[in-house]
Amino acid sequence: MLKRYKLVTVTRVRQVSPRTRRLTFGGPELADFTSVAPDQQVKLFFGRNGEPRPWVPQPPSDGDVMGWYRSYLAVPEERRPWMRAYSVRAHRAEASEIDIDFLLHDVDGPATRWAATAEPGDVVGLLGPTESHLVRPGPYDWTLFAGDQSALPAIAASLAALPAGAKALAYIQVADENEVQELPSPADADVRWVHSGLVDAVCAAEFPDGDVFAWLAGEASVVKALRRHLVGDRGVPKNMIAFSGYWRVDATHEEL
């Protein structure tokens, strides 16, 4: 179910790595922000033509998501804000703040353009949060995370949320060593960084003993190949794999 649409303000900006810009959003509008999952997402809305306070219809009280989306599409294109989904890197409820990491793509899309120059005081629209994966796995002994840099914020938040004593293995593909980040976790987490060949790295991995819950995200064809390997080669049940294609290598500029 969609939450109330709100306008949120950038309060801090930090360049985490050459390709990652972390924006903190804060203020009273986020006082009622309630986390729903470690890998939660929000929809952000960016004004067209320099519009500083993007407007979209408020979600209906009956939770009719498709009805709301039709209303959104009915807004004339020249006024309709661009909508993109982003993972929440961190939520600090006591401060009414969330962090969102923006990956500065090589492709010049509207969200990338906005994030590359955003400053404290800038405003975007926000809907959410929602869970990015809806799988409810059975009992398992350890967790596998695998994804590219677009999945890094969700993997980082998920690792931070694991309990002490939990076991996790994470494979994360980033452009180069400059994109590696510290990923603190109370769990027994083994994080392995790769610069190419994420599928090959996971295929060659020696898995811990026991039943696994796998979390996969990133470029759609890579996620599909990872899932195929886990099911076909490793015998992982399909209901023990959460997967999501965050982007496609053949997407147009408008889709980024």
Boundaries of every domain in the chain = 5-131, 142-247
Residue type, 173: Q
- Show the beta-strand stretches assigned E in the chain: 6-17, 20-26, 40-46, 82-87, 90-92, 97-103, 123-131, 142-148, 167-173, 188-194, 212-219, 241-247
Q: Exposed, middle or buried by CB within 10 Å (0-12, 13-18, 19+), for 181? A: middle
DSSP-derived letter for residue 254 is G
- The residues that bridge with 125 in the sheet, in sequence order, are 7, 45
Q: What is the mean pLDDT of each run of 10 residues along the chain (256 residues)?
A: 84 96 95 94 91 87 83 92 96 97 81 93 94 83 97 97 97 96 97 97 97 96 98 96 89 48
What architecture is the 142-247 domain classified under in CATH?
3-Layer(aba) Sandwich (3.40)
Q: Which of 157, 169, 146, 127 is nearest to 22 (CA)?
A: 157
Q: Please state which CATH class domain 5-131 belongs to.
A: mainly beta
pLDDT for res 204? 98
